[in-house]
Chain A
Amino acid sequence: MSDADQTGQTAETTATETDTDRGPSELVVDDLVKTFGGVQAVDGASFEVEEGSLTGLIGPNGAGKSTTFNCITGVHDPDGGSVTFRGEDITGLRTATIANRGLVRTFQIARELEEMTVLENLMLSPRNQVGEKLSHAVLPGLRSGVRDQERELREEVWDTLELFEIDHLAGEYAGNLSGGQRKLLELARALMIEPDLLLLDEPFAGVNPTLEEKLLDRIHGLRESQNLTFLLVEHDMDLIMENCEHVIVMHQGSVLAEGRPEAIRNNDRVIDAYLGDEL
């Protein structure tokens, strides 16, 4: 039990009403709509993610959480609504552009680049690498600049590997890693872009308790050291309630309720729609 959970048992009665003490929003999703064929996957979802917060996004299967993630990150073009990141409209921008602005996501099923080594996976991430220009990669006069930058990045990569305690796997193919190690790698790789907001799609699925503790440690550490913002999709209700200061509940494509964990826990509509007798 974290201490955040113990404080403020005076919950709001209607969880949808916004906390008055919330800081500026890093991400604003407004009336987002996405339809696949006849299925309304996201149906007017609106929520905000506070700067520097650890926000949880929960909801039953098919509630539209992953589709919302895909619309925010440009994998899908939303059919309606808008996404604003750090005050700029990013609706419908390309995935790569959005990532380069500092909004980075991980995947529900870890998607590491299997036939690339752990080091290569991490070296891929950093933005503005001069060596990504074909001319710099090839031409003799320009290549020394590429090498210099790569030497610097190599140090950062090793530091990140050590932070996540996977430095002993540095030269290994990512495809040879265990499920838990892949989750660590994926988070480490996302961090190498130096994001402002990380969208984590079920980062703890299939992860053993020890590793889960380790991952959470890193996440809390990064919030303190780099003021990173996290938006987390997760099924483990206890984990969300203990670690997030703000929880958004999606149901049938729209936001059913949002508020502090205690409020969500006691919200009748949430209990009816999703939690059932789980709590």
Chain B
Amino acid sequence: MSAADALADRFERFEETPRWLLDVGLIAATMGGIYLLFTIFTFVGPSQGTFGAVVSNLQTITFWTALYAMMVLALNLHWGYTGLFNIGVAGFMAVGVYTFAALTVPATGSPPGLGLPLWVGIIGGMLAAALVGAVTALPALRLRADYLAIVTVALSEIIRLTLLSTKFESFTLFANLDVRVGGFEILPDIALGTGAGRGMNIPVNPSIPVKGIFYTNPSNPAAGQRTAIGEAVLGAFGAAGVRETVVVSLAYTLLLILVVALFYWLLVRVGNSPFGRVLKAIREDELVANSLGKDTRMFKMKVFMLGCALMGLGGILWETQRGFTDPTSTTFRPIQTFYIFVALIIGGAGSNTGSVLGGALFASLLFQGPVFVSRTISHLLNLGDTPGSFVAAVGPFVDLEVTPFLAYAAGNIEELRFVLLGVVLIYLMQNRPDGLLGHRKEVAASVDLIDRDGNRPRDAAATDGGEADE
């Protein structure tokens, strides 16, 4: 049976392919499918498939995929690996973003900041998120898992409402403290602020160095010139009908993909180690981990701080690139945490590859998908005016008219997203509670545990090639 042999041979080779390569392939294939789908959307939608429109749409999809993948990976460390039920992700993002802003916004800004360099802001934001994480975790980690959930969700709301409070719109630190050592004031007055509901301009942010590749004046491209690279790249894309802003966003998206890869690398190393093994043991049964001599409190504290630092960094990359933030931004709302959890559940808690896939599928199909579908339907069917109420939308059913209902659905697609999310969640809970890859054995060790003395047991059974036919 040469065909069967060939198939067996192929399977054998498939088995020998390194796990990471398969995972990269899986992610690439998923993204390929998503790109194909959205390219089709672009062709049948209002922009009718110009090259510029395709690039722009795919850029948008990739951008959101990368953002969600980043956050889902960080949450996977907490929830998937260690079983720490953190439902305050948005709060830790906010801490990262606002600390970053306070550190980098110039002293002349409104509200003012410290005017420190970008990298100080990033490190500071991550440290602050980790510290707030530690303070949250300190009382809660000694208690049962549910208490951590309550504390984190409460904290994320406290943070958001504090940022919204006009009390902190602008204030001066150490204003009433005048401690002098040898005539030198050791605690100088520092003007800071959150801007409260007015929001905060963030002129120094991670998108600036990216823009610096293309423009001599990255803060205000219109005021300066293009760099040599900018001239070449923007010129080439421009000739193909891609707008400048899309090219710049694309470059920023590439930066995000790099960060996702970094997160992935870091978390795979954390997971595939004795440290990761203890995390899994904590998730499975903390008392057993304790009884085997592992001081689980220390492990939980470390992992909580690490995850929060990553969430802080994710928040900075997510929010500040707009050059502006305010506490009403959806980035900081509890729904954000919910979205990230949904993405993790889709991908499969406990799997890093699953986290990336979950982020991709959530961001494209559930987050951006409805918007594209709605746009396409409106374009194709020429639905006319959106009815003002649900009654006006379903009333015409009596006359067998469905157009008003479709128009209503297309016009209220944001709300329909929640219905869709609910349906997906219920389906997953019933049919695939482990998500896409949650069932997979990702053995927590830095070496192959089966591979004793370098001899795999199955090597004995494996044959090489069989008869040479054909």
Contact = CB atoms under 8 A, between A and B. Distances in A.
Interface of A: 73, 75, 94-97, 99-100, 104-105, 107, 111-117, 119-120, 123-125, 127, 129-134, 136-138, 143, 146-147, 150-151, 154-155, 157-158, 170-171, 173, 189-190, 193
Contacts of A115: 280, 283-284, 350
Contacts of A113: 280-281, 284-285, 288
Contacts of B300: none
B369 interface: no
A125 B269 CA distance: 20
Contacts of B287: 75, 95, 111
A99 B444 CA distance: 22
Interface stretch (B195-203, B381-389, B446-454): B446-454
A104 B291 contact: yes
A99 B275 contact: no
A124 B278 contact: yes
B60 interface: no
Nearest to B452: A158
Contacts of A129: 274
Chain B at the A interface: SS class: helix
Interface residues of B, number: 38
Interface string B371-386: 0000000000000000
A146 B277 contact: no
A100 B296 CA distance: 13
Given A96-B290, A133-B275, A116 B281 contact: yes
A137 B274 contact: yes
A120 B274 CA distance: 9
11 contacts: A75-B287, A113-B284, A115-B280, A116-B277, A116-B444, A117-B443, A132-B275, A133-B275, A136-B275, A143-B273, A171-B449
Interface in B236-281: 266, 269-270, 273-278, 280-281
B269 A105 contact: no
Contacts of A100: 293
Given A75-B290, A99-B291, A137-B269, 12 more contacts: A96-B294, A99-B290, A112-B288, A116-B280, A117-B441, A124-B277, A124-B292, A125-B293, A133-B275, A147-B447, A193-B292, A193-B293
Contacts of B447: 147, 150-151, 154
A134 B274 contact: no
A127 B441 CA distance: 24
Contacts of A189: 292
B302 interface: yes
A120 B447 CA distance: 11
Nearest to B267: A138
B270 A138 contact: yes
Contacts of B278: 124, 132
A42 to B, nearest CB: 19
A119 to B, nearest CB: 4
Given A119-B449, A131-B274, A138 B295 contact: no
A146 B290 contact: no
Given A147-B447, A189-B292, A173 B441 contact: yes
B273 to A, nearest CB: 4
Interface in B420-470: 441, 443-447, 449-450, 452-453
Interface of B: 266, 269-270, 273-278, 280-281, 283-285, 287-296, 299, 302, 306, 350, 441, 443-447, 449-450, 452-453
A94 B299 CA distance: 15
A219 B266 CA distance: 42
Contacts of A119: 443, 445, 449-450
Contacts of A120: 277, 280, 443-445, 449
Given A120-B444, A124-B281, A138-B266, A146 B273 contact: yes
B293 A96 contact: yes
Question: Which of B269, B281, B292, B446 counts the most A-chain CB atoms under 10 A from its CB?
Answer: B292
Nearest to B295: A96
B449 A117 contact: yes
A173 to B, nearest CB: 7
Contacts of B443: 117, 119-120
A213 B295 CA distance: 35
B291 A73 contact: yes
Contacts of A155: 452-453
Nearest to B265: A138
A189 B285 CA distance: 14
Nearest to A147: B446
A162 to B, nearest CB: 10
B127 to A, nearest CB: 16
A104 B294 CA distance: 12
A190 B293 CA distance: 10
Nearest to B276: A137
A104 B270 contact: no
A171 B290 contact: no
B291 A150 contact: no
B195 to A, nearest CB: 36
Contacts of A94: 290, 295
A133 B276 CA distance: 10
Contact of A114 (B284, B292, B441, B446): B284
Nearest to A94: B295
Contacts of B350: 115
A200 to B, nearest CB: 12
A82 B288 CA distance: 24
A94 B286 CA distance: 13
Nearest to A115: B284
A171 B450 contact: yes
Contacts of B274: 123-124, 129-132, 137, 146, 150
A124 B284 CA distance: 12
A147 to B, nearest CB: 5
Nearest to B439: A115
Nearest to A138: B269
Q: Which 6 pairs between the two chains have the least Cβ-Cβ distance?
A: A131-B274, A137-B273, A99-B293, A113-B284, A95-B290, A100-B293
A168 to B, nearest CB: 9
Nearest to B449: A119
B391 to A, nearest CB: 50
A123 B292 contact: no
Contacts of A143: 269, 273, 446
A94 B293 CA distance: 9
Nearest to A132: B274
